[in-house]
Structures are given as structure tokens and as C-alpha cells.
Structure 1
Amino acid sequence: MPVGAWDSHMHVTSPDYPLAKTAAYKPSLHSLDHAMTFEKTIGLSNIVLVQPSIYGNDNSCLLDALKEIGPSKGRGVVAFDPNDIAPDTLQSWHKLGVRGVRLNFKSTNESFDVEVVKKSLRKYADIVRPLDWVVELFIDLEQLRLITDIIPELGVKFCVAHFGAPDMRRWKSYPTDASDVPGMQHLTTLLSQADNLWVKISGHYRYDLSVDNMAGTESITKLLLSTARDKLVFASDWPHTRFEGLDVKPFVSKCLDWADEHDAKDMVFRDNAKFLWSCT
């Protein structure tokens, strides 16, 4: 593991914090202490805490954890309503280490209206642009292809979580030609042409049909590495919500190997994340 590496996507949860009415599950206790104990097992000490959908726009659990770890080793990606957020609140979060906002299109049952989504993206971009924050999208590739035209023009950094949630069930040439994944060519084209898009290498077990040998994940990761190795960041997705108990170490090891094959280990595990999350 490169010195100073970052885990760009993980969560802390606790039953002590109130759930949103739309919460899809009830969390166990996955505290910051638990998180850092896990990170030590894979050689990491720098983390990006991402707001889980179960808490809606109440970021209290995440913010309390950021206060504890400090901005030198922690970053945060929050959720908020763009129609009801005060500049002072954003500034106070920024001081704690928040560097992004999460838009979740996968863990909700809301319809994906393209024009409504584009209008929302413009609102969020206008709000976070002065802070140089990231707009993180939990979105699938076939939704992403509908908004690729607007991403380059908004003047903020975008990050797509979990490989873009690929639908490997419809991958005709699985697991060989990753460009055949529905929507993948839109992602690789955008990565090649836009200078403001990153992708998280994470959450493979949520989509791969061969989770044990990660054949599909390997093909996709290598395609993305060959397309834009400077636009990829590693993430563990700990504590693997709804997949608790998963051993992610084989995935970490594979990612190190795949990145090393493309002479990109320092990039994927450290340098890209430091730039994306504005880490000095």
C-alpha cells in the first residue's frame, strides 16, 4: 500500500442517530473506531466518509466522526437540500473536512426525470463551486449516459461511485470485453474527454456475477485504467452495508495488482484522491 493512501468511500453508522423516514435498513454500530481498526488491516489511515442514504440529509453521524478524526486524515461527502442550505453551514462543514455532496439516484425509488436531474445538478454545482467541492453521483451507467452532456459544462468536479453501478447481467460478452457493459462506452468517452470526472473503484460485490474471482470487475477496472488512470480512486465501501461480514481484502489486493500493472498504484490509491478531495 502506498504511503499516505486514501480510502475514498466508507461509512460510519450508529443506532444512536435518527433514521430518515425513507431508510431502507436499520444500521448496526459501525463507529469511527471500528472503521479505523478495519483500515489498519489494509494499511490505510486516511478516509473519506460518505453520507449513507439511511440518514437522509441529517449528517450528524458523519460530522461527529469528522470532528474526531480531524481534517488532516478525514474528508466528508454530505447530503443536503439545495433549496435549504445556508452558506455559513457549508463553511462550518468545510472547516471540518467536508469536500463534497452526494446525490443518490440508486438507493431511492424516485423516478429519473432527465430534465429535473439536470436542473438539480446545476443548483448543486452553483452551491459547491465556490468551495471547490465534489458532486458525487451514485448513479447507474444507463442513467449517467443521459446527463453526460451537462457534466463538462458545470465547472465542478464530479465523481461516480462504485464503477457507475454496472449492470453485469446484461453484459453480452461477460467477462471479457468490458466496453460491452451497457452504458460503459458513455463513461469511458466522458473520462477521456472531460477533465472534471472521476470514478471510484469500489463496491464490486454489489454488481459482479463472479464475485469470488472478480472476473467482471477485473475487466472493467483494467478498461478504466487504460482509459484514464489519473481519474480513478480506490475505495473499500466499508462496512459493506447489507453485505456485512464481507472480506474485502482480496479486492484490495487485486486492485493493487491491477493498478501496478498500469504503473498507477500511487495514482489510484493516493495522488488522485488527494487532488479530488483537496488534500494538502
Structure 2
Amino acid sequence: MSKDITKEIPSGSWDSHMHVVDPGLYPLSSSAQYTPSPHTISQAMAFESSVGISNIVLVQPSIYGNDNSCMLDALKELGPDRARAVVTFDPEEIDEKTLQEWHTIGVRGVRLNFVSVGKKVEKEELFAAMRAYANLIRPFDWVLQLYIHMADIPILAEIVPDLGVKVCIDHFGQPTLPAPGSDDPFAISGDPYQLKGFSSLISLLKQGNTYVKLSAPYRLSKQPDQVDLEPLGRELVKVAGMTRLVFSTDWPHTRFEGLDIRPYMAKAIEWCDGDKILVDRLFRSNAEDLWGVKR
């Protein structure tokens, strides 16, 4: 039985990355790479309550493309006091009126997803896209959220400081972890700075306008109990836990349905080494800063 960690989670905590899907009521994109079971907002909030979290950030999943209807309806149901959302859209087709309407109901970010759709990152294309999105969201103080491989993060250092918006990188920065027992430098040493792109991620965090989500460890790890993520988690918490890290469950753990996230939540708390202020920053305060939540 998993440890009951609900009493260790700070009151008013935020889950900064989760999804709702309902293929029966909201048709998937024609390019969707899988068809999930329904996971509704009522199911989502029941789950969040079971792990001691009361506030959520809904993130548009790739299977819906630019049709945000399912997520926005869920956001309206909860209201902006308890929820935020991260949409996707085509910057050439969006208008300011729509952005303002979305902002009013609680949208606070736009997501660029290069991983789920298997898209190779080309530098000039990435820079053009980031500038286009940043120009649109800057007046609303939204977040530019990136799902990108850690190996591609070094090129971000050339543009992120000049965008004038907050940037948030998904899932530990999406490292590619080596198989146990390989001759990879990280597998041998356990030093996260041996991973391609990790140093650049840390540099961005230290500059102050980049956040990282501690989320979806099960999508990254190559070892039981995700022990290979321990060095990354601890270093990220050490460097940026008080300011630029946000905890996320990645519920409903699509393609890993039924997974118990509570052991990982306990591990994230453990990485804070008994510092209750740090735990509060990781689970609540940093998210409030990132998503524009008034205290």
C-alpha cells in the first residue's frame, strides 16, 4: 500500500500538469496517435483530492490538436479560482479577442509540443515559432510551455532571455536516460551534468525566466522505482526548488493508466530534505507565481 502523503502536501497546492479527455463527447484530432479512455473533470478532481491537491493546471493533450473545447469546458466548470489552462493554437489564425476570452476564464499559457508528435526541432523554425507565440501572449503575461527533448535545450539559451515571457519546460526537461549498466557517462557516474542539455537547462533556470515541471517520471526512467531520476530531481530542487520548479502529476498518466503517483510524490517531498518552506514552494507558491494566481 502506498504511503499516505496527503498530510504532507501543503494546503492550496497546485498540480501544474494534467489532462482531461473524453473521446465520446469531444472527437480526437485526425492525427491523434492513440485513443484514450475518457477521463473527465469530475474524475480528475476526485483523483486530486485523493492526493491532497486542490488546484489544477489543465494542459491541452496532443490528441486534440488545436481544438481546446474539451479542456476549456472543464476549465469553465471549475472556474479560475481553482484552475488554469494551457492551450494550443495556430499563431497565424488566432485573434486577440479569443485570447482575451480565454484569459478571462483562466487560460495562462500556450504549449509547443515537439515530443508527442515526434517532430524534429529545427533551430530557425523553433525560433520563429517561439517569437510568434511570445509576441501574442506577452500582453497577457502568459507562459510559453515547451515539450522538447533535453538534447535540444542548448539552443534555447540563444532566444529565451530575449522573449520577454515566462518559459516552462515539461517533464524534467525530457532527458534521454541510458539503460542500466551501459557505458554512458551518466549511467556510470550518476552525474546529471553528463546528460546532454542538462547544463543548459540549469543555466536557464538560474537566469530567472524559465521554469521546469517535475512531472511524468515514469515516461523517462529506465529503472525500477525511477532511481535514475533521483540525481536530476535532487539537483533541480537544489538549484531552483525555491523559485522555478513546479510539481505535476501528469494525470491520467495516458498510456500508463492505473499507475500510482503517490510514491513519486513522496520522493519529491524527500528531495526537499525536510525543508517545509521548500515543499510549499514546490507544490504551491512557485505555481502561483508561474500561473499568475493572486495570493
1:215 matched residue in structure 2: 227
Letter in 2 for 1:162: H
2:110 maps to 1:110: no
SS in 2 for 1:214: helix
1:181 matched residue in structure 2: 195
Give runs of aligned pairs for residues 221-236 of structure 1, distance below 5 A.
Answer: 221-229=233-241, 230-236=243-249
Distance in 2, matches of 1:54 and 1:272, equals 28
Q: CA RMSD for the aligned pairs? A: 1.3
Letter in 2 for 1:104: N
Distance in 2, matches of 1:261 and 1:52, equals 34
The offset of 1:260, in angstroms, is 4.2
1:264 matched residue in structure 2: 278
Distance in 2, matches of 1:131 and 1:237, equals 25
Letter in 1 for 2:255: R
Once the two structures are superposed, residues 219-239 of structure 1 have per-residue CA deviations (whole angstroms, 9 ceiling, x without a partner) of: 101111111221000000000
The offset of 1:144, in angstroms, is 1.5
2:255 maps to 1:245: no
2:4 maps to 1:9: no
The offset of 1:148, in angstroms, is 1.7
Distance in 1, matches of 2:177 and 2:89, equals 31
Distance in 1, matches of 2:47 and 2:157, equals 36
Letter in 2 for 1:266: D
Distance in 2, matches of 1:185 and 1:259, equals 21
SS in 2 for 1:168: coil
CA contact (8 A) 2:178 2:186 kept: no
Distance in 1, matches of 2:52 and 2:77, equals 20
Distance in 1, matches of 2:235 and 2:278, equals 13
SS in 2 for 1:173: helix
TM-score (norm 2): 0.91
The offset of 1:173, in angstroms, is 2.7
CA contact (8 A) 1:179 1:223 kept: no
Distance in 1, matches of 2:74 and 2:265, equals 24
The offset of 1:7, in angstroms, is 0.3
Which structure 1 residue ranges, 5 or more long, are not aligned? none
Distance in 2, matches of 1:203 and 1:133, equals 23
SS in 1 for 2:260: coil
Letter in 1 for 2:200: H
Answer with 138-147 or 62-71: which moved more: 138-147
2:208 maps to 1:195: yes
Count of residue pairs the alignment pairs up: 278
Distance in 1, matches of 2:168 and 2:252, equals 20
TM-score (norm 1): 0.96
The offset of 1:261, in angstroms, is 4.1
Which structure 2 residue ranges, 5 or more long, are not aligned? 1-8
Distance in 1, matches of 2:236 and 2:267, equals 15
2:172 matched residue in structure 1: 163
1:20 matched residue in structure 2: 29
Distance in 2, matches of 1:37 and 1:149, equals 42
Once the two structures are superposed, residues 162-203 of structure 1 have per-residue CA deviations (whole angstroms, 9 ceiling, x without a partner) of: 0011000275233721111221111111111x2210000000
